[in-house]
Amino acid sequence: MYLDKLKSLYEQLKDVEKQLGDSAVISNQELYRELTKRHSYLSPLADKYEQYSKLLKDIADAEELKKSVDEEMRDMASAEYGDLSAKKEKIENEIKFLLIPPDPNDDKNIIIEIRAGTGGEEAALFAGDLFRMYTRFAERNGWKYEIIDANPTGLGGYKEVIFEIEGSKVWRYMKFERGAHRVQRVPDTEASGRVHTSAVTVAVLPEAQEVDVEIKTEELRIDTYRASGAGGQHVNKTDSAIRITHLPTGLVVACQDERSQIKNRAKAFKVLRAKLYEQKLLEHEKQISSDRKQQVGSGDRSEKIRTYNFPQNRITDHRIGFSVYNITEVMDGDLSELVEKLMEFDAQHRLEAINN
């Protein structure tokens, strides 16, 4: 079933390895990077091809021995055939998922935007809770994070917070967080003990390089202004904040977190590039997907993806119909179980799309 496909990919790996040894390819950084990604995808499949080929040969040998006139030999061959068949089923299941083409953005760092939605100050507080949840999850995985811009509230929440996470496979693990997150709990300010429902939207953007998105200077309006909020006397004395408007799309990004106008400008450009890249990706998804609802991470910020019910100690991901009952641990950054379930669900749908 899989042998011919694996053999073809095995031959592709040999061709990629040959190209990677070519000095002309090495000097072309973009091509070299693409071939390196292709090599990392093909290498595990090449290993499985060798294992699978040997296993099929061993099964064929055991099947032949089952025809032996020697009864003891037939019994041994039958037992071995059963073990080998079980191994075949296991390795075929592994191959199925290895055949799924990798997301080209898997190795990218990300920019996350968390915005308070309906619910007033309670929504802002929950935006702060989500920020803490994601940064704790980053710490658990050995990733680094940095705030790009933030609009804090007096009670410790955020109307909006934008931050970057850098590390291995960040996009792969975090891309499913895009969408509307709903919280149900009794706010600290609620004297009657009534449960409130609030919402926060989360955008997860793969960090884009200049080669991913072209930004023309003449298509930008760049404004400087005095920062507001935390920062002492400095915020009222220096025009360090930056606002960039991309005229063709109407996208506006702003950054005032740094004291340096140059640093704010660099961060604002990083966010703009990521947003333009996101638009490019979503347009591509629309073109290739006949049923976007099958995609776990469609990028639609208005889609309600998860409910955090504090009174019932329950978090439910509505896309996969899966709940966990350890809300304190999850809010402290233990997202592993939820993320793994989402990845499994996504992989299964992508596998079905390949086979259909």
User: Shortest CA distance to 122 belongs to which of 201, 184, 180, 202?
Assistant: 184
Rounded CA separation 106/346 (Å): 14
Quick one: pLDDT at residue 260?
A: 86
Rounded CA separation 333/135 (Å): 7
Identity of residue 169: K
Quick one: pLDDT at residue 258?
A: 79
Cβ neighbours for 104, distance < 8 A, ≥ 6 positions apart: 37
Both tokens of 298, joined, read 């469609």
Both tokens of 75, joined, read 């019994």
Quick one: pLDDT at residue 291?
A: 42
36-67 core/surface letters (b: 16 or more CB in 10 A; e: else): eebbebbeebbebbeebeebeebbeebeebee
Q: What is the CB neighbour count within 10 angstroms for residue 156?
A: 11
Quick one: pLDDT at residue 287?
A: 57
Taking a C-beta distance cutoff of 8 angstroms, is the pair 80, 63 a contact?
A: no
pTM score, two decimals? 0.75
Quick one: pLDDT at residue 188?
A: 74
User: Shortest CA distance to 251 belongs to which of 285, 281, 278?
Assistant: 278
Quick one: pLDDT at residue 285?
A: 66
Quick one: pLDDT at residue 268?
A: 92
Both tokens of 102, joined, read 């990798």
Taking a C-beta distance cutoff of 8 angstroms, is the pair 145, 210 a contact?
A: no
Distances (CA, A) of 98 to 4, 14, 49, 117: 15, 18, 11, 39
Structural domains in the chain, CATH included, are 3-98 (1.20.58), 110-212+296-355 (3.30.70.1660), 217-285 (3.30.160.20)
- Walk along the chain (356 residues) and give the pLDDT tens digit of each residue: 678 888 888 899 999 999 999 888 889 988 888 898 889 889 989 889 999 999 999 999 999 998 888 888 888 989 999 999 999 999 988 888 888 887 888 888 999 999 999 888 999 999 999 999 999 999 999 999 999 999 999 888 999 999 999 998 899 999 999 999 999 999 876 767 789 999 999 999 999 887 788 899 899 999 988 776 544 434 445 678 899 999 999 999 999 877 888 889 999 999 999 999 888 887 766 655 544 444 454 445 567 999 999 999 999 999 999 999 999 999 999 999 999 999 989 888 887 776 66
Distances (CA, A) of 338 to 170, 327, 329: 15, 11, 12
Both tokens of 107, joined, read 């190795």
